[in-house]
């Protein structure tokens, strides 16, 4: 009698609704009985625990007295270039969850019943819903991998297992499982999660992202203005800071499988907020302009694990911005500002650096030793390698890597001086009043922030005015005084300056990777002041191969040369003593 009573009590306890704190499984969607609150539930079965547990003849693991059979399914696993371990097929408690949530086994198939419990027209978790993960787990947070100190050390941004704070936990084999984040009996924090996802508190139980605490994405209280698509379609939160990791990541059924991103196209994970609907500036609009860093042109090429020196031509937002580190801190040239903090690059010596210290090191990833990058102008000297063009050992260069060579730049507009340094983005940036900083897009060639006429022979006419000059070369005259420049060049060009050619024809806005004594550059003053000709306008003399007639200080324009270059040569006089 006592034995029968004990058995009856055990069965009763197993079938009673499990309560954790103030949360009862009765009032969650995991109550699959006829009394359940969800749309997926049995047609008449009144027992609640039976769908997962049985007191007799259970399927292992033994602890939960599992009432469902093993599936024997091969799953497609999560993988990425940044994961520092490999995952095997799901095991342990994760298999218990997948017995319903992979959508392959009927919900009513339990070991303790000789026939399936009826769910009416619903057989498995409905396809296409968040509750049906399918057998492709490549778009879900990885599970069933060993999480130990060695992994944490190798990864560098995972907490040591000893630092993981309850209720988040590993299983008895030190593996990350579904139950590390979820408690099937308690839905008080939504989605049966063990901890709140506000501010990504659950994520940071294990993850320890570098720079995050001071980044804008962790502190911003910006909200969605209601226009366009909701950037936070899978969370209940309404600010950037509260969404935190989930601004970009989706732990299950992610659009971009590797690194479980919200969207497959990399830029969409940024531009769903940076389109003027959350962030203050509309970056997305800049990518519709004629010249742009075309993030839409490439998908699946960028890899966070790629080397700093680019081997494959592409550009994505995260090539220049680290979303875990980006902040609003300002800086002075050439130091990198907060918007590009925590990004890798290439220094002036061609060596990879991570993170960058100077802004130009980001630009050098693509615009230095990468032959795939487009050159707009072919010049007499130089190869278009901007790292070498700006080298401080050159005769002349704009002061990006260091202070310029010429101590007497009389045309500079205050507060600029000959000792000033500048950013690449002082010239290359979005055009138009109120446009966001940075070289996102421009209607000017080479993503220049202001007009810079590169046509060979502008039809200017005799009525050319200072206003006309400024309109065609606005970029130059934001730093150089128009009156000073005009006076100097009118005297040395026989009146041809600005009337037939512009700044670009004679001056290389970067510099050139050459030394004196190479290609006719035997007189330093001949190549000072960024003189480096556009070869579509000024070419070497066909008789001697010289770009400049050094003794007579003359250069040869294409428009004045005949087939044999024996007559009709126009000489533009270069005054070595010019203070400009």
Average pLDDT over residues 138-164: 96
How far, in Å, CA of 246 to CA of 262, rounded? 8
Instruction: Note the Cα 205 to chain centre separation in Å.
Output: 24
- Residue 580 pLDDT greater than 50, yes or no: no
Q: Please check whether residue 293 is in contact with residue 430, taking contact to mean a CB–CB distance below 8 angstroms.
A: no
pLDDT of residue 4: 43
Average pLDDT over residues 6-22: 43
Average pLDDT over residues 341-348: 97
Omega prior to 179 cis, within 30 of 0: no
pLDDT of residue 489: 77
pLDDT of residue 313: 86
Give pLDDT tens digits for 398-432. Answer: 999 999 988 888 899 999 999 999 999 999 999 99
The DSSP secondary structure of 316-332, one letter per residue, reads: -HHHH--TTT-------
pLDDT of residue 16: 46
The number of residues making up the chain comes to 580
pLDDT of residue 455: 78
Average pLDDT over residues 79-105: 93
pLDDT of residue 503: 85
Burial (Cβ within 10 Å: 0-12, 13-18, ≥19) of residue 143: buried
Q: Between residues 29 and 312, which one has the greater pLDDT?
A: 29
pLDDT of residue 21: 47
Nearest to 472 by CA among 499, 510, 442: 499
- Residue 26 pLDDT greater than 80, yes or no: yes
Give pLDDT tens digits for 485-535. Answer: 888 877 766 655 656 677 888 888 998 765 544 444 434 554 678 888 888
Nearest to 425 by CA among 273, 293, 270: 293
- Residue 557 pLDDT greater than 80, yes or no: no
Give pLDDT tens digits for 443-460. Answer: 999 999 999 988 755 554
Give pLDDT tens digits for 291-321. Answer: 999 999 999 999 999 999 877 889 999 999 9
Name the token pair of 48.
Answer: 């609640």
How far, in Å, CA of 240 to CA of 223, rounded? 7
The model's confidence at residue 561, banded by pLDDT at 50, 70 and 90, is: low
CB-based contacts of 467-471 (< 8 A; 24+ apart in sequence): 469/498
Average pLDDT over residues 74-90: 94
Q: Please give the backbone phi and psi of residue 487, each rounded to the nearest 5 degrees, phi first.
A: -60, -45
- Residue 2 pLDDT greater than 60, yes or no: no
- Residue 8 pLDDT greater than 50, yes or no: no
pLDDT of residue 260: 97
């Amino acid at each position: 009698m006592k034995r029968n009573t004990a058995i009856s009590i055990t069965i009763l306890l197993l079938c009673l609704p499990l309560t954790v704190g103030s949360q009862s499984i009765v009032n969650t969607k995991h109550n699959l009985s006829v009394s359940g609150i969800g749309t997926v539930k049995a047609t008449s079965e009144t027992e609640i625990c039976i769908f997962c547990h049985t007191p007799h003849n259970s399927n292992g693991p033994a602890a939960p007295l599992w009432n469902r059979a093993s599936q024997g399914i091969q799953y497609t696993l999560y993988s990425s270039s940044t994961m520092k371990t490999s995952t095997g097929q799901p095991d342990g408690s994760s298999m218990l969850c997948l017995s319903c949530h992979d959508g392959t086994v009927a919900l009513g198939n339990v070991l303790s019943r000789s026939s399936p419990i009826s769910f009416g027209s619903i057989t498995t978790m409905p396809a296409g819903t968040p509750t049906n993960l399918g057998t492709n787990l490549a778009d879900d947070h990885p599970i069933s991998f060993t999480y130990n100190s060695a992994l944490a050390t190798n990864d560098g941004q995972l907490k040591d297992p000893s630092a993981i704070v309850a209720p988040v936990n590993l299983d008895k084999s030190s593996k990350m499982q579904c139950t590390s984040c979820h408690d099937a009996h308690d839905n008080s924090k939504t989605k049966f999660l063990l901890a709140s996802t506000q501010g990504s508190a659950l994520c940071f139980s294990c993850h320890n992202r570098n720079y995050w605490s001071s980044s804008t994405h962790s502190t911003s209280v910006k909200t969605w203005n209601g226009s366009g698509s909701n950037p936070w379609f899978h969370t209940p939160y309404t600010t950037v800071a509260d969404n935190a990791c989930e601004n970009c990541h989706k732990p299950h059924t992610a659009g971009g499988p590797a690194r479980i991103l919200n969207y497959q196209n990399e830029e969409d994970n940024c531009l769903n907020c940076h389109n003027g609907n959350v962030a203050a500036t509309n970056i997305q609009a800049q990518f519709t302009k004629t010249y742009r860093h075309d993030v839409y042109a490439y998908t699946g090429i960028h890899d966070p694990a790629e080397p700093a020196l680019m081997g494959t031509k592409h550009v994505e937002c995260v090539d220049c911005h680290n979303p875990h580190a980006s902040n609003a801190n300002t800086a002075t040239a050439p130091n990198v500002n907060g918007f590009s903090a925590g990004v890798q690059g290439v220094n002036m010596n061609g060596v990879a650096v991570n993170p960058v210290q100077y802004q130009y090191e980001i630009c050098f990833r693509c615009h230095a030793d990468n032959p795939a990058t487009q050159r707009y102008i072919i010049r007499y000297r130089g190869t278009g390698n901007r790292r070498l063009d700006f080298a401080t050992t050159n005769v002349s260069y704009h002061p990006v890597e260091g202070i310029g060579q010429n101590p007497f730049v009389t045309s500079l507009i205050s507060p600029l001086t000959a000792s000033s340094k500048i950013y690449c983005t002082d010239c290359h940036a979005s055009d138009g009043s109120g446009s966001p900083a940075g070289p996102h897009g421009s209607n000017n060639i080479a993503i220049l922030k202001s007009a810079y006429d590169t046509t060979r022979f502008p039809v200017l006419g005799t009525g050319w005015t200072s206003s006309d000059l400024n309109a065609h070369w606005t970029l130059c005259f934001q730093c150089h005084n128009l009156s000073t420049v005009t006076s100097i060049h009118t005297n040395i060009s026989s009146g041809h300056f600005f009337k037939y050619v512009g700044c670009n024809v004679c001056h290389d806005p970067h510099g050139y990777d050459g030394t004196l004594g190479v290609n006719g550059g035997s007189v330093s003053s001949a190549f000072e002041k960024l003189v480096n000709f556009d070869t579509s306008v000024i070419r070497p003399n066909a008789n001697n191969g010289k770009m400049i007639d050094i003794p007579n200080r003359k250069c040869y324009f294409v428009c004045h040369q005949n087939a044999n270059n024996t007559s009709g040569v126009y000489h533009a006089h270069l005054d070595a003593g010019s203070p400009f």
